[in-house]
Amino acid sequence: MDDISPIRAKSGTNQEGTSAHNRRVMIEALRLNGALSRADLARATQLTKQAVSNIIEDLESDGLVVALDAVRKGRGQPSTPYWLVPEGAFAIGLQIDRHLTRAVAVDLVGSVLARAEANLPFDEPSKGVEVILGLVGGVRRELSEISAQSEERLVGLGVAMPGPFGLKNSDDKWMMPAWQKFPLLETLAEGTGLNVSLQNDSAACATAERIVGAAHGVDHAVCLYVGYGIGTGLILNGELYSGGHGNAGEIGMALLSPAGPGSTPLEHRASLASLYQHLDLNPADKDIYEQMNALVMAEDPKIMAWIDGAAHDLRWSVHLIETIFDPQTVILTSGAPEALARRLVEAMHPLLPSIADRPGRNLPRLQLGTTDPWSIALGAAAAPISRAFDPLFSAILKTRSSGA
């Protein structure tokens, strides 16, 4: 008798012309749940057992799925569980920030296989991109030493950097203006020979949180990212929402007072950049995080004062997020030391009343997520994997309309 416990999966469709979508649905179900039998997959995806069998055979022949030893449950026939092959695909993720860059190589299930970081010359993309290409090349060579098939199974390069993108006033120093004007994606594509995609750093951080953090298994979550700037990654209906121009979630641009003289964006008062200014720290220092951690542990009056002020503004932003998006939870993520991020979350309580303040909650309104500084590069690496293997419902709509 098959296990009837809930399995996380999207529904497939038994209509003709949708086999590519169904392959993606099956891969996602295996990634979310681990090993599943054909009967498990049919029940979870609402596909026929024959359709599941056909897709499993195709995935096996493509080296994406492998059969494990048969398992007997109760008195019924033994069932064969199937498992995603981690080496079935690889991707590289790249974080570009004002003073540094990080690159990671991951496999199909998101395990980090290689990583490297380097300093960047501030606001000099023509020189910085040379550093980046060298970094990516080194990670790529390390990956090829781990897997002989890595090059043929490398699905792309995902890039994450601070947004917003494509605004008229891109000369604002907070937006890395020189990098905004530089043909970054074209240069990286030419230098690596890979398909290159771009997202903002808060969206990448949310993707990482879905893979390994507090947003795993949560369909409606907003990740509030406190980095050099401030942004949010929006996970809506289990998918990352990026908006019409890739700028969804740029809450750091929200004004804390009416527009006009004296108006102040949120990130000018509650971001790590504002903390660096408040403490007169150089963000390019190699030991910047150690310096901040030491100040927090010593309860330095200046950093504690900044935490109180930032928490006041971030408390308002949580109220705004809950009112607009009605998430199951808000997750504060940051590249700051965990001790600082934890103090910040503690100082944000009590939260302001909102529609999220209701009895019977399964998740806290606000919780601390990942503070690993590598999470943005990890989330960036997930983008090419997602593009190649996650269900794309827009493709289904196009297929149906073309057949109408």
pLDDT tens per residue, range 57-78: 999 999 999 999 888 776 667 8
* The pLDDT value given to residue 46: 87
- Assess contact for 378 and 94: CB atoms under 8 A: no
User: Quick one: CATH architecture of 214-369?
Assistant: 2-Layer Sandwich (3.30)
Class of domain 19-84: mainly alpha
Handedness of CA 251, 254, 256, 261 (dihedral sign): positive
* The pLDDT value given to residue 210: 85
Q: CA–CA separation, 233 vs 383, rounded Å? A: 13
Q: CA–CA separation, 271 vs 279, rounded Å? A: 13
User: Quick one: CATH architecture of 89-203+378-389?
Assistant: 2-Layer Sandwich (3.30)
**What does pTM read for this prediction?**
0.84
170-184 residue pLDDT tens: 566 667 888 988 999
Of 218-222, 238-242, 275-279, 317-321, minimum mean pLDDT range: 238-242
Q: CA–CA separation, 294 vs 238, rounded Å? A: 38
| Every domain range in the chain assigned CATH 1.10.10.10 | 19-84
101-141 residue pLDDT tens: 999 999 998 899 999 999 998 889 999 999 999 999 999 99
* The pLDDT value given to residue 254: 84
β-strand partners of 116: 103
Where helices occur in 147-264 by DSSP H, the ranges are: 177-181, 184-192, 201-212
* The pLDDT value given to residue 372: 87
* The pLDDT value given to residue 403: 38
Q: Per the structure block, which two tokens stand in for 111?
A: 């395990």
296-320 residue pLDDT tens: 999 999 999 999 999 999 999 999 9
Q: CA–CA separation, 46 vs 179, rounded Å? A: 46
Q: CA–CA separation, 137 vs 134, rounded Å? A: 5
| Every domain range in the chain assigned CATH 3.30.420.40 | 89-203+378-389, 214-369
* The pLDDT value given to residue 292: 95
Q: Which amino acid is at 80?
A: T
